[in-house]
Structure 1
């Protein structure tokens, strides 16, 4: 049993090293240099080990994006703000999202650009955007419940607007302001409030 525990811990440590190496390469190199070989070298493991863990370059990218999202709590935004009223939750979600966009900007910027020409990358980002959209849908439902007079648009239009103004491309388009996630969050929160009331 102890051997199984050590083996599992070793496998988890190897996976973590691979994901960290993948994140670093995404942030510092061009996409064509994001290869299983390069990640293996950076992580100090063999290409076969990376392949066995991730199956492909896209499997590795998916693992990196999942790890970054989970580490930042992006999959738990609603759970983490459930004790707050909807307006306070809205602010907290915008602030946490801006911190995530800021910290991972070097990884996300090239990926969002690459999504225009790479269907696999576009699909992975679209899947994560759908998760984000679902969370905003549930929060908007709460906002409307708590203050039913706030909705200036029908809910699908309102949701489209909120998802757009809280997206990474919008954050990144703030230029120098995006170097300060707290300042960017104030601007984006203002935009979200202008939509939701």
Structure 2
């Protein structure tokens, strides 16, 4: 008499295998985007070769190159702490929310500091990838605009100059420039926090 395994167990095994495959594909996508003489161009085929799976496997999970990139960005955001932003922005005290917002992005840039320049260089060569990155970057500007409106509720709209300054101060480009003198992550975050506070105070 044959004893069948419980269906729930089989499903759990399949789910675990699918998660492992997805993680392997995302790791390969990070490696490909990071570039290097032995890395292929960023495509479903290229990522599949590095991950050791078929192109169809990558397609079935992500549907397109942009879908794969979006999933990779989401994974980087999770690892770098950006998934904490809804709770940060939702704090009752807008000044505390802005401080924590700055801290989250400083730690995110610190986590991915070595990979970001190569990622940006590769992404700018592809219009679809560049558009995806630009959309995500603009989310930071929109969030800062909402925080500025909460800081100055009596004003009819958030001042574009202040939002642009805060947007620049919390960018990776600015963070990378502060790394040049050998500053550590904590020192950079403290400096950015001070500059943000001064910008807000000047606006009052």
What is the TM-score of this pair, normalised by structure 2?
0.77
Q: Structure 1 residue 171 and structure 2 residue 175: aligned? A: yes
Structure 2 gaps of 5+ residues are 1-6
Q: CA RMSD in A?
A: 2.9
* Separation in 2, partners of 1:67, 1:177: 30
* Separation in 2, partners of 1:118, 1:108: 16
Count of residues in Structure 1 that have an aligned counterpart in Structure 2: 192
Structure 1 residues 75 and 144, CA gap change in structure 2 (3 angstroms): farther
- Can you list the C-alpha shifts for 1:28-83, whole angstroms capped at 9, x where unaligned? 53785434344334433223212222233333222111211133332431413544
> SS at the partner of 2:99?
helix
Q: Which shows bigger deviation, 93-102 or 41-50? A: 41-50
Residue 160 of structure 2 aligns with which residue?
156
> SS at the partner of 1:29?
coil
Structure with higher helix content = 1
Contact 1:36 1:51 in 2 (8 A): yes
Larger radius of gyration: 2
What is the TM-score of this pair, normalised by structure 1?
0.80
* Separation in 2, partners of 1:122, 1:89: 29
* Separation in 1, partners of 2:40, 2:176: 23
Structure 1 gaps of 5+ residues are none
